[in-house]
Amino acid sequence: MKRFIVAVVTSSALLTSMFTQAGVVTVWGERYNISTINTFYNGLAGHSSSIANGQLDTVDLSSTDLLWAVQPADSYTANELSTMSSFLSGGGRIAFMGEHGNFAPSENNNINAALAALGADISINNVVLDGGFRSASVGDGQILSHPLTQGVDTYQYAAFAPLSISGDAVALMLGEELYNGMDSVMMAYQNIGAGSVFLITDQNVWDNSGSNWGGNFDNGTMFENLLAASTNNPNEPPQVPEPASILLLSLGVAGLLRRRRK
């Protein structure tokens, strides 16, 4: 009987690992050193990242889980928007990164146009709040409770453009300063079909990634969550087990059957 119980535990662990997959990131954009983002994800155990060049509609996103679309110098083309829409329909996630309104207003406008075309209820206001490096925390109420912010107790940032959200869009972080007399939204996301879009407007959140944010901030956890944590999307497609996981599971089940026969 004891051998049977051990076999059940082993099989359960295999079932869990079968649906735990490595995340794949594609980083694409302009006006920012996107290699910083690419290097970060390649440094995370179990994940991988690559930089895409050229028009997005020429990039193979078939194995990508998270696409970073960074500070577009030009408007997205109709074909690029169609590629984004298809990517979301397949369960992909897109993280748009702009900047505060005094630094990158045209890039922000290009992101706004893309978000509207994709059906998102999130937009950027081209102003600047919270100048200078600051720390958001759970304790001060700036980091809101959500699976995407799990493990993120402190977050380093510096100067952002506040977001307007409506509909099903969800705020993840707030700024210190108010915007039009209300809490300013610093980071938000929205599920669209089977996929999700995220939006931040501050490139400084990546500035200290090379030193792991000094060990004092959880920016790294936040950015890994964008790739791997739940967005509570009921339309998200189920994970397909990798062939190696299927083999491990079959071996575990075979072992279970052998133990039961003894």
Residue 192 burial (C-beta neighbours within 10 Å; 0-12, 13-18, 19+): buried
The pLDDT assigned to 5 comes to 33
Strand-pair partners of 170:
189
User: Looking at residue 165, what is its pLDDT?
Assistant: 98
Cα–Cα distances in angstroms (integers) from residue 197 to residues 1, 85, 96, 236, in the given order: 50, 11, 7, 13
Q: What is the pLDDT of residue 21?
A: 64
Each residue of 137-162: pLDDT tens digit? 999 999 999 999 999 999 999 999 99
pLDDT score recorded for residue 252: 46
Residue-wise pLDDT for 199-238, tens only, equals 999 999 999 998 889 889 999 999 999 999 999 999 988 7
What 8-state DSSP symbol labels residue 208?
T
pLDDT at 104: 86
Listed in sequence order, the residues at least 6 apart from 247 whose beta carbon sits closer than 8 Å to its beta carbon are none
Contact 169, 122 (CB under 8 A): yes
Global pTM value: 0.84
173, β-bridge pairs: 143, 187
pLDDT at 1: 41
Residue bearing tokens 């925390």: 137
DSSP 165-193: E-TT-EEEEEEEEEETTEEEEEEEEEEET
Amino acid at 238: P
| CA 11 – CA 6 distance, rounded (Å) | 9
Three-state SS annotation for 109-161: HHHHHHHHHHCCCEEECCCCEEEEEEEEECCCCCECCCHHHCCCCEEEEEEEC
For residue 243, what are the CA distances in angstroms to 19, 246, 249, 250? 11, 5, 10, 11
pLDDT for res 71: 96
**Residue ranges in the chain modelled with pLDDT below 50:** 1-20, 241-262
